[in-house]
Amino acid sequence: MIADGARRLGGLSGWRRLALAFLAGAVAIIAFPPVSIVPALWLSFPILIWLLDGCSTRGEAAVTGWAFGLGHFTTSFYWITNAFYVDSETFGVFAIPAVAGLSAAFSLYTALVCAVTHTILPPSRDDLPDDRILVTTLRIILFGATWTIVEWLRGWILTGFPWNPVATVWSETMTPFGLPVLQSVPLIGTYGLSLLTVLAAAAPAVLAHRPRLPRAWGAAAAPVLLLAAIAIGGGVRLALTETKHIPGTKFRLVQASIPQADKGRPSLWEAHLREHIQLSTDNRPADVTHVIWGEAAVHFFLNVDEQHRRIAAEAAPKGGMLITGADRGTRDEAGNLQVYNSLYALTSRGDVVAEYDKSHLVPFGEYLPLRWLIPFEKLTGGMGDFGAGPGPTTLDLRGLPPFSPQICYEIIFSGAVTARDSEHGRPEWLLNLTNDAWFGFSMGPYQHYAAARLRAVEEGIPVVRVANSGISAVIDGTGRTVAELGLGERGALDAPLPRPAAAFTPFGFMGNIIPLALAVLAGGGALRRWRRYVIENIDNPFRGGRYHL
């Protein structure tokens, strides 16, 4: 039955093949948070492999991969349209074209994956009756390796947007095996777990060839069994790792849940500041040492506006601090204003003891990459671009362990959330300030939250996440949620700071060298075995004659 279905899918051509590829890519998104039906990948990826089996040229394979990517990225990025509708009169008309264009551009990545996969030619329907399992297995390995490398590239090309790597499907703690499987990322990183997941999800495609053979079932089951072993090992690690807290440190996370349309109205900025102060001080336990507000919680330039800086400092506990997101404005010698999306640490007297400027800016939201071609304003308002900070840093503040600040989507960049050569050493926690109110009640905030969990487990250190509209949370170094305020909730969350889960992790030490090396070894090994296979069969007119180097 599987073999018959696979043959029919492989025989599709034209718009039918592309339509099914688009649908398979779209279905894959339900494996990601917040839906998290992970087995959906075991449907999407085999369908794509079978469709690629019917492609006779690399160009056909690339177009099929592009259609798959279009379905996947359209459903993965749809939530971005909400940002355009915050000011619908100005930007609403651009919402669908912008997301469609972004999805079409990102689909070139999956087109590249499928074009490379076609380097190992698809198994023939008429020859190689004993070796189709081998050929398909090699294609799957090359597919998974290339997919992993391309996921990493998405984090760098054109400043990068590594949204939803496949490993994200394990970041929803409500799924029974999610958190145990996630315990592999301190060793192999997010992209290493993506490699294993893609291989496991695509492996059933081998069952299209001689499905009754133990060899076929072995090839299909091997990566799944590896994931199962990882889950068992991860479960043991979780059972043996207790969440311990740092004594004398307790946070109040403030989630004001102010609608984004209101945040953009200057007439309400004073009221928003007072609202944050009220949430910070009402019924606050005496042992709270630090209050934390989200990204852009304050709309005044706190570096020069002493009046509003002292008002904001009313939220800080005595002897403690307020850490908040706010813009920072400076002027150059010519008097031109430069604005930064920043983090401030304030004492209860209103003194600024630390600042951090966001370094990884959001294209079209905080700067226009093609400003000379695009004359309209960026989504955050104003014709000028935000300035970029110098990059990851470690802040060492009185009464707190050293930490690495991350503003908004800086937290999604695997291997780029800590300063490797900081004078303060390795940070002991990550602080992520964000404002996901731009994206409403959509998948976006949940997937952003999932990325923060991945960074916590990769680095083995807790993440404190404060979001204007949610999800605000404290996550320990194993990915467990210590405390959480849900999406759209208004309130304050009091929580201690967990200790790091490990003194260091292999990933924290070596970064993405580990998963990239695994992908290169896997893909290179598949190509070498394919080359040997071709050489062994090239002279046989009945087997392999259609294959060539």
Known active-site residue 250: no
Give the DSSP letter of residue 543.
Answer: S
> Reduced to 3 states, what is the DSSP secondary structure of residue 529?
helix
Which residue matches tokens 């150059």?
Answer: 332
Catalytic residue among 295, 410, 428, 484: 295
| Neighbour tally for 267: CB within 10 Å | 7
Known active-site residue 295: yes
Whether residue 110 contacts residue 144, with contact meaning beta carbons closer than 8 Å, is answered with no
Catalytic residue among 250, 263, 358, 378: 358
Catalytic residue among 408, 410, 458, 484: 408
Amino acid identity of residue 527, one-letter, is L
Listing DSSP states for 199-265 in one string gives: HHHHGGGGGGSSTTSHHHHHHHHHHHHHHHHHHHHHHHHHHH----EEEEEEEEEEE----HHHHT-
Distance CA 256, CA 435 (A): 11
Distance CA 446, CA 444 (A): 5
- Closest residue by Cα to residue 107 from 52, 144, 167, 150: 150
Listing DSSP states for 117-135 in one string gives: HTTSPPPPSSS-TTTHHHH
Distance CA 116, CA 143 (A): 8
Known active-site residue 114: no
Give me the active site residues, please.
295, 358, 408
